[in-house]
Chain A
Amino acid sequence: MDKKPEDADKLLKEKRTYLSRRQFIKAGAGTGLALAVLGTAACAERTPTPTPVLTPTSTPIPPTPTPAPHHFLKPSQASVVEAAVARIMPSDANGPGAKEAGVANFIDRALEGYDANLQDTYIGGLAAMDSYSNSKFSKKFVDLTPQQQDGILADMQTGKATGFTTPSAASFFNTLRTYTMLGMFSDPSYGGNQDMVGWKLLGFPGAVFGYSPEEVNTCAPVTRNPVSLQREA
């Protein structure tokens, strides 16, 4: 049976030794915690992802015999992403880069899912990259030499590249750079970091369960092979 309010107030008074203001504050402060954390938000489910607004394609997509691997990006857009991320994290003497890691695939899948709010950013940014590339070299970005591609990316990063509106050139470069890292170093189940090439590059052991005190105190490089979540995508 629920207590009446009067009873509750009475109970509070009875518990006064426990609840005196001073002791009450002491009890809270005594936890040694500087901040009380948590609050009031998000009871409701996330707002549904808005339906992507696709811009009309200027060239018809050629029919392919196998299902297209892409989720959101068109093949022409995906190839720009792939070329750009391959320069941001290149394949070189230090091992495979973003192309081999499947970063473009990671980005494509992210744009269809968690990062759907960035769809317009990518559509606009990728188109502007090709326009700038055309204005500078009379070629599409994917047809440039690696050095020319580096030049375009550097111009974007420093804000020198023209023709970008939303996003700005620098902002889109930062997006591409961040997503290269996300795709390079996230769990392979998200579509990038294939064969765990990103983790191998850094000597990162991946989703380990833990280390023994001996391993912790040996202070030597970790030699075990990295482990992934091996989760269904």
Chain B
Amino acid sequence: MALPKVDVVIIGVGAAGGVLAKELAVAGLKVVGLERGRRYSREDRMPHDELRVFGRFSLFQDPRTEPLTWRPDDKSAAVRQDPIVIGNEVGGAQVHWGAMSWRLHEDDFRILSKYGPQADANVADWPMTYADLESYYDIAEKEIGVCGKAGNLMGVKMEGGNPFEAPRKNEYPMPPLEAACISKVFDPMAKSLGYHPFPSPAGIASVQYQDLPGCNYCGFCQSYGCHIDAKRNTLITTIPIGEATGNLEIRTRCKVFRINVDDTGKATGVSYYDPAGVVQEQPASLVILGAFTYENVRLLLLSKTDKFTKGLSNSSGQVGRNLMAHIAGSALGVFDDQIINLHMGPSAPKRCIDDFGADNFDHTGLGFIRGGVITTWTSFLQGGPISFTTRLALPPGVPNWGSQYKEFIKK
């Protein structure tokens, strides 16, 4: 039997769902947030336990019960992939995120207009411009609590910030985090090459902000929940505000398996398994997919009906194509004369250059468009010795076991 109808049901109460849950509840709509994971207290996030969190995925989609698999076509067998860290709790992946908080460049919104169609790639313009979004970026940076240094205030270039960033009306709500040790190595080198180092904008409180303390650099940062709530996420920012209205109910350990639609294709609600494994139907006027990309796609495809045989929202056939998560390459440097202390937080990039981002450099003869930020990054190693020893790509000639290896990692 169906539950009483509500205005809005949100599938996944994380980085996006958690924001919408608050906005809609404050606007007076009755909102139900269905979250497959649990809700962790600050105490739950306390243990600085690399094996439990990083090694055993305590905060993530469990790769043993829900592995990621891949196959090139529907005739091949699905092969298990190395697990990636997909959020699985109220607050979503934002609980464990590395907290990088970028704005897009102005021309990111106009890729198709600027470059035209690209071979072997799908490019498109956004239906809005950076100027349309600027004030919302501003709101979001204040709501999330982003620290950083402006490089372009209303067109005026600011010393110490990113000279390539899109113009912003306001400074970041907080100054950047400390990054003295890596700056000592990175900044002079970058400057000597003519580049422009600046602090990474991060969704981490660098000083006390909205009654929550500033970062204490513990280093158990990306992949972990923050033990002092300096790392910002919807679990501590928007969700409590939404709940305080009385209009937002979050149901944890509830796994949506189908979006229900009528014959016109209009969503009428969702069906889900409750914590006891019992099927429940939650009707709603509006259904929001707030889950991770993979899960949103999976739900749309699983929700096919006789009338919508390719799944929902898929008249284009594009649902499930062009999937992308993070893409990054990394290189390791070992310094004989500098102590970096990479186990100290945060694990978000500390110093960056944007000289190779967007259209900030000469692409003549390169055969590609756009680019990326170059950062000093310890996120891949998550700052801990288990990730360091199990994920580190070693220099040529260094074996990955035995006394020689031990000598190398001691260094």
Contact = CB atoms under 8 A, between A and B. Distances in A.
Interface of A: 2-5, 8-9, 11-12, 15, 18-19, 22, 25-33, 35-44, 46-47, 87-90, 92, 94-95, 97, 114, 117, 150, 153, 157, 177-178, 180-182, 184-187, 190, 198-199, 201-202, 204-213, 215-217, 219-222, 229, 231
Contact of B275 (A43, A198, A199): A43
B358 interface: no
Interface residues of B, number: 112
A27 B274 CA distance: 30
Contact of B406 (A39, A94, A204, A217): A94
Interface in B90-116: 92-94, 101-103
B71 to A, nearest CB: 20
Contact of B144 (A31, A215, A220): A31
Contacts of A87: 401-402
B5 interface: yes
A132 B274 CA distance: 51
Given A8-B285, A216-B180, A211 B295 contact: no
What are the 8 A-B residue pairs with the smallest beta carbon separation, nearest first? A30-B136, A39-B295, A210-B216, A39-B291, A36-B16, A38-B12, A38-B14, A37-B93
A196 B270 CA distance: 50
A40 B139 contact: no
Given A8-B29, A38-B13, A89-B406, 18 more contacts: A18-B27, A32-B102, A35-B292, A35-B293, A37-B292, A40-B11, A41-B36, A42-B61, A180-B401, A181-B389, A182-B55, A185-B386, A210-B228, A211-B218, A216-B341, A219-B184, A219-B338, A220-B339
Contacts of A97: 406
A30 B133 contact: yes
A36 B292 contact: yes
A66 B28 CA distance: 67
Contact of B403 (A4, A94, A117): A94
Given A2-B5, A29-B136, A38 B295 contact: yes
B5 A37 contact: no
Given A41-B255, A90-B406, A94-B407, A25 B128 contact: yes
29 contacts: A12-B7, A22-B128, A25-B127, A26-B132, A26-B133, A26-B136, A28-B16, A37-B291, A38-B88, A38-B89, A40-B295, A42-B66, A47-B65, A90-B402, A153-B401, A181-B389, A184-B385, A184-B389, A185-B386, A185-B389, A186-B55, A187-B50, A207-B220, A208-B48, A210-B216, A211-B219, A216-B180, A216-B341, A219-B338
Nearest to B284: A8
B287 interface: no
A38 B7 contact: no
Contacts of B55: 182, 186
Given A42-B37, A201-B410, A32 B283 contact: no
A113 to B, nearest CB: 10
A94 B409 CA distance: 10
B286 interface: yes
Contact of B181 (A39, A47, A216, A229): A216
A146 B220 CA distance: 37
A172 to B, nearest CB: 13
Given A39-B296, A43-B36, A185-B50, A211 B61 contact: no
